[in-house]
Structure 1
Amino acid sequence: MNQKDLSNYSHIEEGPTELFIDASRGVAGDMLLAALVNLGVPEKIIREPLAAILPPHEIEFVAENRRGIVGLGARVTPLEASPPHRTLPDLLAVLKQPSLPQWVREKAEEVYRRLAKAEAAVHGIAEEKVHFHEVGAIDAQVDILGVLLAIDYLSPKSITCSSLPLGNGQVRAAHGLIPVPAPAVVELLRGARVHAGPAGRELTTPTGAALLMSLATSQEEASSGILMRQGWGYGQRIAPEEDPVNGVRLLQFNSSSTLKDEQSQSDQVIRLETVIDHIPAEDLGGIIDRCLDAGALEAFLSPIHMKKSRPGHQLTVLAKPQDEALLCRSIHRWTGTLGIRVESLRRSLLKRESQSIEAFGEKIQIKLAWYGTELISARPEHDDVARLAATRDWSPEYTRLQLASVIDSQIAENGFIPQTEALGPDLSSKNRRNSGIRHE
């Protein structure tokens, strides 16, 4: 999937987005499709590929105002007679068309196979022999493929959804009246978090359930981060005034976005913390080394007083999110601590790099930091300071003063020019351990 820029928000930096699907009032394929268009997906992203692969049809997105909230409804009209049913092989054959993106083809096959598996379990037949009636109709195919085309356009980093409502009562299907939730919906939602919802009607359709079970990575509350936009998609049925509105709401977040500051950088890190009061002092230093070896950006110990006035230490570790599992394992194994707190943070970073100068017959590495194009820090590497101090038999403090004069002269004469466009620090474990760079 390729990330597309939908934003007209000039003060927000676009980055990987997260999509939250609030389906707590109900969900169907047409509601999801309408909500995605209302969120900002251009209609042509859906219309053009589907016109090339499906029998003639019309798609209309209708503006609706329900309970004072403006959203869209999706209406699909076949322009020629459709067969009474389709099988799984029939639906999969449509996906071979080259006009569909690869991700859409793969995800659509997953959705169709989920539906076939659920229907097969209900009817006690092989998946290939399932006859799709409602799901096989053109409007359902438009809903499924249209939703996937829109998701492919948005390319969210993750998709989460709310708990799903079951409803109750009866609904008329191709086989006559069936109970709500429909047996196929029950099969589709195995393992999902659900709730009852308003009584007397269907709230989650098979198509809606199959799409959410294929797309959502988890069911949790709406994400934290910068809220970018929302989209409302309404079903055709008008809910009674005493019931929640019959609609799906999408919320798009950018958890890595920040208000634009062209002069600095930012990134996402995690902070791991645990308290220790049972380890001998000679072992404490080894904890820091283990954390740095496991990928920590920074690790330090702080003295604290614990319950019963016992002295102890708090271990604090900053790391990249992808290193969480390895670091937790290392900390648990090395310290035996029973619990580790993990918190997500965003850091503001100056643009940094290292350049070398000649001073007193030695090559000295200088750590440089810019705020935009303004050089605000130029410091010699500690290892080079120590080496020069030993060679000249100077104190480290005097050595730094001498190097400061050389650095000031370099800035006055030529300045320091960034060597690369990407001025972010090298965060490899080797450089963290050997260069003395601190990331705060």
Structure 2
Amino acid sequence: MNRILYFDCSAGASGDMTLGALLHLGVKVDDLNAELGKLPVKGFQVSVQKVKKRGIEALKAEVLITEEDAPHRGLTTIKNIINESTLDGKVKDIAIKIFTKLGEAEAKIHGTTVDKIHFHEVGAIDAIVDIVGTAILIDRLQIDEVYASSIHTGSGFVTCQHGIMPIPAPATLELLKGVPIYSTEIKGELTTPTGAAILSTLAKEFGRMPLMKVDRIGYGAGTKDLAIPNVLRVSLGYLQEGQDSSNQEACLDHHQQWMLECNIDDMNHEFIDHIMGRLFQAGARDVYITPIQMKKNRPALKLSVLYGKEIEEKVFSIIFTETTSIGIRKYPVEKVMLDRKTQSVETPWGNVNVKLAYYKGDLANIAPEYEDCKRLAEKTGLPIKHIYSEVNNLIKNML
């Protein structure tokens, strides 16, 4: 049974919040400091104290710097520090993966290569301790898989080495590409580049908490006092039977998607077929039209597009160049899918692919492929409903 960790990022995530949350699960800070002592750098110590954030008791972790530090280190230097330590090999591997991802993001933002990038804030000893400490605690807690919620980034502006930047900071946003993120009216940087690097490297999936038996819960406190509890919550436990990645037939597949909508009342409806075709070619998951009545009872169409974040710019371009819409609405949605597989069925007239859907390991739905059935109907002159019925009977006898 997989031992898993779930990050609830309702108040974002940072390096010190991650350390505090993982230590709150029961690892002694003295044990962490002993492991960190294996690094070939000195002049630091992790300290913790219990604090309350909006009534929730949490652990506030802080890296105390006892000697002057050189904060501008390159990725090669940081890798050498980790590799020259006497830390466990798994710990080294996790830490280097996190720093490499962080370095790649910084290099892309600054238009250089990863071997030339020099970290600023994240090259300082406290960031090294946050990341290496996280790797140590993940290993100490014997975590098999990590999951995380959608990530709250915060809003407004933050001051960093290069000046005033919008939130999320450029490196943070780069690290969170493909990850479901959101912001609210809460002002301030809730998710830092270090927190983003840790989560985007470690998490297998982002979304709702998987079906798990929770054993322990930890809360890591942020520095600021916010309108919400400024804590990172982690749940340690076991993935329940049927949710293991080796038993996919029992799983519901959760995917973060985006929905775009626009109302159109002044366009030739014949254009819709072309527009839908372009959207599907661009990678849209679904496109559909709903008849609506707008103000003054004008008949109109609502165009809805379900898509992944990675094709958003393509979707926007098609909508604004191909339709008469001058504005769109978009919002995140969670798409929940049954496990699926395709099986070929041999009929008297030719082969037909059939889609099979499973819920908790049991067959829930059978769907012959329409285009295959249409091809055989045109070939034989038989009614398509006759071919559908025959395919359904054949697949049921095979199962």
- Bucket of the pairwise TM-score, normalised by the shorter protein: 0.5 to 0.7
Question: 271, 291, 294: which is aligned to 1:306?
Answer: 294
Correspondent of 1:398 among 383, 386, 390: 386
Partner of 1:53: helix, strand, or coil? coil
Q: Which amino acid aligns with 2:232?
A: L
- Name 1:296's counterpart in structure 2: 284
Aligned length: 322
- State the TM-score, normalizing by the size of structure 2: 0.61
Q: Does 1:71 align with 2:58?
A: yes
Cα contact 1:114–1:210 (8 A) shared by 2: no
One-letter code of the match for 1:357? V
Sequence identity percentage: 22
- Amino acid aligned to 2:131: L
Structure 1 residues 31 and 344, CA gap change in structure 2 (3 angstroms): closer
Q: Write the deviation string for residues 100-143 of structure 1: whole angstroms up to 9, x where unpaired.
A: 532465669x89853599xxxxxxxxxxxxxxxxx8xxxxx3x4
Deviation at 1:291, TM superposition (A): 1.1
Matched residues in 2 for 1:270 and 1:277: separation?
23
Whole-Å separation in 2 of the counterparts to 1:53 and 1:344: 45
Counterpart in the other structure of 1:38: 24
Which of the residues 345, 348, 358 maps onto 2:336? 348
Partner amino acid for 1:37?
A: L
Q: Contact conserved, 1:272 with 1:340, CA < 8 A, in 2?
A: yes
| Distance (whole Å) between structure 2 residues aligned to residue 230 and residue 275 of structure 1 | 46
Q: Which residue of 2 aligns with 1:411?
A: 396
Q: Return 5+ residue gaps in structure 2 as ranges.
A: 86-91, 107-116, 139-145, 168-187, 198-205, 244-248
Listed one character per residue, the Cα deviations across residues 374-406 of structure 1 (whole Å, up to 9, x for unaligned) are 22333332223223333333222333344444x
User: Is residue 388 from structure 1 mapped to residue 376 from structure 2 by the alignment?
Assistant: yes
Cα offset, 1:225, TM superposition: 4.9
Do 2:149 and 2:209's aligned partners in 1 also have CA atoms closer than 8 Å? no
Q: 1:145 aligns with which of 103, 119, 128?
A: 128
How far the C-alpha of 1:339 sits from its partner, in A, is 1.6
Residue 35 of structure 1 and its aligned partner are, at CA, apart by 4.8
Using structure 1 for the length normalisation, give the TM-score: 0.56
Using a 3 Å threshold, how does the CA distance of structure 1 residues 386 and 296 change in structure 2: closer, same or farther?
A: same
Taking structure 1 as reference, are residues 36 and 301 closer, same or farther at Cα in structure 2, changes over 3 Å only? same
Q: Does 1:52 align with 2:58?
A: no
Q: 2:165 aligns with which of 191, 211, 214?
A: 191
Matches within 5 A, 1:21-420: 21=11, 33-38=19-24, 47-55=34-42, 59=46, 61-63=48-50, 69-72=56-59, 74=61, 85-87=68-70, 96-97=80-81, 98=83, 99=85, 101-103=95-97, 113-114=119-120, 141=125, 143-151=126-134, 153=138, 162=154, 190-191=164-165, 214-215=193-194, 225-226=208-209, 231-233=219-221, 249-251=231-233, 263-268=250-255, 269-405=257-393, 407=394, 410-412=395-397, 415-416=398-399
Residues 165, 317 of structure 1: alpha-carbon distance in 2 compared, 3 angstrom cutoff: closer
Cα RMSD over matched residues?
5.1
Q: Which segments of 5 or more consecutive residues in structure 1 lack a partner in the other structure?
A: 8-13, 118-134, 136-140, 167-184, 194-208, 417-440
**Residue 45 to residue 324, structure 1, CA distance change in 2 (3 Å):** farther
Q: Deviations over 1:347-373 (max 9, x none)?
A: 222222222222224222223222233
Query: What secondary structure does 1:336 align onto?
Result: coil
Give the direction of change, closer, same or farther, for the CA distance of 1:47–1:325 in structure 2 (3 Å limit): farther
Change (3 A) 1:151 1:363: same
- Greater strand fraction, Structure 1 or Structure 2: 2
Measured in 2, the distance between the counterparts of 1:22 and 1:232 equals 11
